[in-house]
């Protein structure tokens, strides 16, 4: 781990047991059910994860990210283009790949990412396509809680 990483917490569904390092913990499970006990994190990464989460679980995912991040914290997300599913099915048919969990992609459209991490709780600060347009990067920033403004009369 790099010297800039103070603490990390990873979640991996295929992990059989907890792994503990000097500056990180890896837990078996699924986010957001499996998550750190405390908040105030600088960043949460969801790299090729969002397309595996059923639509009815998106609100719980967003709520957990909002609870765990400090104000100004970032959610960093990569989401493949829907065309990637076609490529993976062809590669799987010819047994060139294995274990891609295509049945878990739920027909996710990357454009839905902005609605999942919507204003006013999050602000989109970056979106770009990469890998010949086959992948998408989204970076959202957690907004601070709105101030309660009251008029004094």
Window from 84-88, 130-134, 148-152 with minimum mean pLDDT? 148-152
- Average pLDDT of the chain is 86
Q: Range of 71's domain?
A: 24-142
Number of domains the chain contains: 1
Mean pLDDT, rounded, for 30-35: 91
% the chain with pLDDT above 70: 87
**Dist. CA 64–CA 39, nearest whole Å:** 9
Does the bond joining 32 to the residue before it have cis omega, within 30 degrees of 0? yes
Q: Write the CATH number for 120.
A: 3.40.50.150
Asked, for residue 61, whether it belongs to a domain, the answer is yes
pTM for this predicted structure? 0.83
Asked, for residue 62, whether it belongs to a domain, the answer is yes
Asked, for residue 16, whether it belongs to a domain, the answer is no
Mean pLDDT, rounded, for 20-35: 92
Buried b (16+ CB within 10 A) or exposed e, 40-50: ebeebebeebb
**Dist. CA 5–CA 101, nearest whole Å:** 30
Mean pLDDT, rounded, for 82-108: 73
List, for residues 34-71, the tens digit of each pLDDT value.
999 888 999 999 998 998 888 999 999 999 999 999 99
For the CA atoms of 118, 101, 9, 72, the dihedral, rounded to the nearest 10 degrees, stands at -20
User: What pLDDT score does 102 carry?
Assistant: 61
Asked, for residue 128, whether it belongs to a domain, the answer is yes
């Amino acid at each position: 781990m790099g010297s800039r990483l103070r603490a990390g917490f990873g979640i991996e569904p295929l992990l059989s047991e907890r792994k503990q390092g000097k500056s990180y913990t890896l837990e078996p499970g699924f986010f957001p059910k499996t998550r750190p006990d405390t908040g105030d994190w600088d960043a949460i990464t969801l790299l090729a994860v969002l397309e595996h989460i059923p639509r009815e679980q998106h609100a719980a995912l967003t709520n957990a990210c909002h609870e765990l991040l400090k104000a100004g914290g970032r959610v960093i997300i990569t989401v493949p283009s829907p065309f990637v599913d076609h490529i993976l099915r062809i590669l799987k048919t010819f047994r060139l790949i294995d274990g891609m969990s295509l049945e878990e992609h739920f027909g996710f459209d990357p454009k839905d990412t902005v609605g999942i991490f919507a204003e006013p709780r999050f602000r989109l600060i970056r979106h770009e396509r990469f890998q010949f347009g086959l992948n998408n990067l989204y970076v959202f920033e957690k907004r601070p809680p709105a101030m309660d403004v009251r008029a004094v009369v």
